[in-house]
Chains A and B, each alone.
Chain A
Amino acid sequence: DVKVTQSSRYLVKRTGEKVFLECVQDMDHENMFWYRQDPGLGLRLIYFSYDVKMKEKGDIPEGYSVSREKKERFSLILESASTNQTSMYLCASSLPPVDTQYFGPGTRLTVL
């Protein structure tokens, strides 16, 4: 069974704080993804990594950065959190060439 874990289920931060969200997968998947989910907008891709130290911007990368130093771990960084980054953040992984992605439980981030 694929397991994707995220460091926190709920997080409350203040505007301007630096926020780290961590994701770990245990299936040796090459691809890892960060999404945010907002009502009516579905899942929107923030960043995607297809290998260690490799990353690609998704649809909404502004205000975010990522880090992938080890294959199993993919971090999402909010350099200076803002209230419009309040959202559910979801991490996923996949093993190419199969496109099926496996998701973690999500982190509900509230920025006050």
Chain B
Amino acid sequence: DQQVKQNSPSLSVQEGRISILNCDYTNSMFDYFLWYKKYPAEGPTFLISISSIKDKNEDGRFTVFLNKSAKHLSLHIVPSQPGDSAVYFCAASPGGVRRAGNMLTFGGGTRLMVKP
């Protein structure tokens, strides 16, 4: 059973408009969430993260929103640019600090296409 789900496999947006990518999770122990961006034939690159003590984190054009009661997070990209076209993965990590760190659980990814 997938603990982190991205229900939209793809999303198409016009350049300059807002892109909203969604992610749902089922494990209430998750308390740290990340978004990664992946271009074809490259490894994922870290984009932005949010801790469960916050409900919003912003970095330039990228904002992540967390709704803990709904177990839902979203990534907003405003304004969208053609260079944002990539696959976006959300990931989640459980609570507590272990000496060994925590493993991430990834969603299936959403392919974003930004049209000029």
Interface hub of A9, A30, A51, A99 (most chain B Cβ within 10 A): A99
Say whether, besides A96-B101, A99-B32, A100-B34, A105 and B43 are in contact (CB < 8 Å): yes
Min C-beta distance of B26 to chain A, whole Å: 15
Does the CB pair B44–A43 fall under 8 Å? yes
Residue-by-residue, is B101-116 near A (CB-CB < 8 Å gives 1, otherwise 0)?
Answer: 1111011110000000
Category for how many chain B residues contact A: 20 to 34
Does the CB pair A103–B101 fall under 8 Å? no
Does the CB pair B101–A40 fall under 8 Å? no
Category for how many chain A residues contact B: 20 to 34
Does the CB pair B103–A100 fall under 8 Å? no
Stretch at the interface among B69-77, B78-86, B92-100: B92-100
Main secondary structure of the interface of A (DSSP, over half): strand
Partner of A96 from the list B44, B45, B100 (CB cut-off 8 Å) is B100
Does the CB pair A40–B104 fall under 8 Å? no
A residues 75-112 with Cβ under 8 Å of B?
90-92, 94-106, 108
Say whether, besides A99-B34, A102-B46, A108 and B41 are in contact (CB < 8 Å): yes
Residue B59 interfacial (CB < 8 Å): no
- B46 to chain A: closest residue by CB: A100
Does the CB pair A31–B101 fall under 8 Å? yes
Using Cβ atoms and an 8 Å threshold, which residues of chain A touch B4?
42
Partner of B98 from the list A40, A51, A58, A97 (CB cut-off 8 Å) is A97
The 15 listed contacts between A and B (C-beta, < 8 Å) are A33-B103, A40-B109, A42-B89, A42-B108, A51-B100, A90-B44, A91-B43, A94-B101, A96-B97, A96-B101, A96-B102, A103-B36, A105-B41, A106-B41, A106-B43
